[in-house]
Structure 1
Amino acid sequence: MFEQIITNVRNNVPLVHAITNYVTVNDCANIILASGGSPIMADDINEVTDITAISSALVLNMGTLNERTALSMLAAGKKANQCGLPVVFDPVGAGASAFRKKLAYQLLEEIQFSVIKGNISEIKFLAAGEGKTAGVDACEGDKVTEDNLKGVADFAKEFSKRTGSVIAITGAIDLVADGNLAYAVRNGHIMMSRITGTGCMLAAVTGSYVGANPGSILKASAAAVCGMGLCGELAYKKLSQLHGGTGTYRMLLIDEMSRLNEQMLEEGGKYECF
């Protein structure tokens, strides 16, 4: 299903410009490298448009907001649109504060995103202002389950039609959808929720994948979600053998991303399309 997606990343080494947060910036840079891309984390208004212009993809992450980076995100996003580059938006904590609410809607209005990735509360907030964010986490009542999966997939497809973006909703069951097709991905491990930054890292990997596959945004995004979850599973297997903890798990997660190939993804991927 994901033929050539990872190979294209490894062969083309896309330059991924990530304006992300200072909590997870190092992990994001390292997982871009592990995925096969090349990271650059420029966030000053005086250079973001120049850096974006030479990049393969742009990732915008709202994790640690301030007015300076808000301006940089807007400038870089508009430049990416002018250059025809894929743009990944991670609206971390959208709706948790008035500042985040205002910027999230401004970015959505002024920038054409290729991919919008977030938990269900963040995506629902962007779509209708209804999601109930708990800091950067999804509220229990919003979460995707087997019972509501079809309904959430329909919601994601509709939001994709409205925005022109692939919608990636992360959780125990991940959903990746455009206006016509949805992937339900069941890879991943609970340990991924016990370290900071796995969502940010997924946005970074998505930047690598779409940067090397700009003509296959949906498939590249689904491959990134599936691959990240599979790496989480493989990392936990090794962690159990080492009797390690959360710090070791973070290291193993990045290790597994550096080892990931298409055969591993085809054999270990757990997904369905509808």
Structure 2
Amino acid sequence: MHLEMVKECLEKVRQRNPLVHHITNVVVTNFTANGLLALGASPVMAYAKQEVAEMARIAGALVLNIGTLNETEVEAMLIAGRSANEQGVPVVLDPVGAGATQYRTQTARMIMEQVNISLIRGNAAEIAHVLGEKWEIKGVDAGQGDQDVSVLAQKAAKQWGTTIVITGKEDVITDGERIFRIGNGHPMLTKVTGTGCLLTSVIGSFMAVEQDALVAGAAALVCYGVAAEKAAGKAADEGPGSFQIQFLNELYKMDGADVLQMGQLNW
């Protein structure tokens, strides 16, 4: 894989304007919707169990995010996930806060058991706890762990038979065999709530136009990181509020030339 493929994926998102169905957490709904619109995708948030199967069938991708869990939403996620599976619609899972409570960890595992997940994105602690490994976690944020992140990602990918993204100072994506490391991004992303959740949705947008989950995920990570770097260059000194606005602007303005010039894709 090379940066030209990243550019092509971005162009396909802009050309096709894929519909991405979300069952996500209440903290990030508005930011996620605005981020996907800026990127060039079409977000829809549908939660009622009476309609999620129908919505998932017509979407380009389904994003399940357990950030603000309740029993009704979990039921809707399972219904939507099964419907997406029947239609061949890729499903992306974000196990937000897995490891912080047993309920979150068990819910993530239950969804994975009942739905065929195409890609899972989380921080190292979330992935480790769902896998049954030890890793420090503080709420929804990862602390320190003893394992190499790449080894953890590959272990999870092989055990679950899916593509794994672990985000941090350096992002890692693997399908258990192939592995890429993405060096793009900026620390200001950690000062705005929902940037990880929006990243998961951006990955869903790329998966809606690219069948290879590893290629789609890596392309999304590069584009997202490049936009963050450009936004920080213009607004980081002003604080997270200005950065958030500029980040949406950079998602909108980013093009293939930015990707080719700034992308850091390593394997």
Fold-level similarity (TM above 0.5): yes
Corresponding position of 1:67: 71
Indicate the RMSD between aligned Cα atoms, in angstroms: 1.4
Give the TM-score of the pair, scaled to structure 2: 0.94
2-structure distance, mates of 1:263, 1:163: 36
Judge conservation of contact 1:35–1:208 (CA < 8 Å) in 2: no
Corresponding position of 2:135: 131
Amino acid of the residue matched to residue 179 of structure 2? A
Amino acid of the residue matched to residue 55 of structure 1? A
Select which of 30, 44, 47 maps to 2:48.
44
Corresponding position of 2:85: 81
1-structure distance, mates of 2:249, 2:7: 22
1:229 and 2:231 matched: no
Counterparts of 1:92-107 in structure 2 under 5 Å? 92-107=96-111
1:216 and 2:220 matched: no
1:262 and 2:220 matched: no
1:166 and 2:144 matched: no
2-structure distance, mates of 1:271, 1:11: 24
Helix, strand or coil at the partner of 1:223 = helix
Counterparts of 1:194-205 in structure 2 under 5 Å? 194-205=191-202
Corresponding position of 1:26: 30
Amino acid of the residue matched to residue 242 of structure 2? T
1-structure distance, mates of 2:8, 2:186: 26
- Give the gaps of 5 or more residues in structure 2: none
Judge conservation of contact 2:28–2:193 (CA < 8 Å) in 1: yes
- The share of aligned pairs that are identical, in percent, is 39
Corresponding position of 1:90: 94
Judge conservation of contact 1:15–1:55 (CA < 8 Å) in 2: yes
Select which of 176, 180, 189 maps to 1:179.
176
TM-fit CA distance, 1:3: 4.3
1-structure distance, mates of 2:177, 2:12: 25
Amino acid of the residue matched to residue 66 of structure 1? N
Corresponding position of 1:248: 242
The count of residues paired between Structure 1 and Structure 2 equals: 263
Helix, strand or coil at the partner of 1:203 = helix
1-structure distance, mates of 2:96, 2:150: 21
Judge conservation of contact 1:21–1:64 (CA < 8 Å) in 2: yes
2-structure distance, mates of 1:124, 1:55: 30
Judge conservation of contact 2:37–2:43 (CA < 8 Å) in 1: yes
Judge conservation of contact 1:13–1:212 (CA < 8 Å) in 2: no
Give the TM-score of the pair, scaled to structure 1: 0.92
Judge conservation of contact 2:92–2:200 (CA < 8 Å) in 1: yes
Corresponding position of 1:145: none
TM-fit CA distance, 1:61: 0.5
TM-fit CA distance, 1:216: 2.0
1:156 and 2:153 matched: yes
Amino acid of the residue matched to residue 219 of structure 2? A
TM-fit CA distance, 1:40: 0.3
Helix, strand or coil at the partner of 1:131 = coil
1:109 and 2:117 matched: no
1-structure distance, mates of 2:137, 2:152: 18
CA gap of 1:88–1:24, structure 2 versus 1, over 3 A, is same
Helix, strand or coil at the partner of 2:185 = coil
Corresponding position of 1:35: 39
TM-fit CA distance, 1:220: 1.0
1-structure distance, mates of 2:161, 2:255: 29
2-structure distance, mates of 1:155, 1:178: 12
Amino acid of the residue matched to residue 211 of structure 1? A
Judge conservation of contact 1:88–1:117 (CA < 8 Å) in 2: yes
2-structure distance, mates of 1:114, 1:180: 15
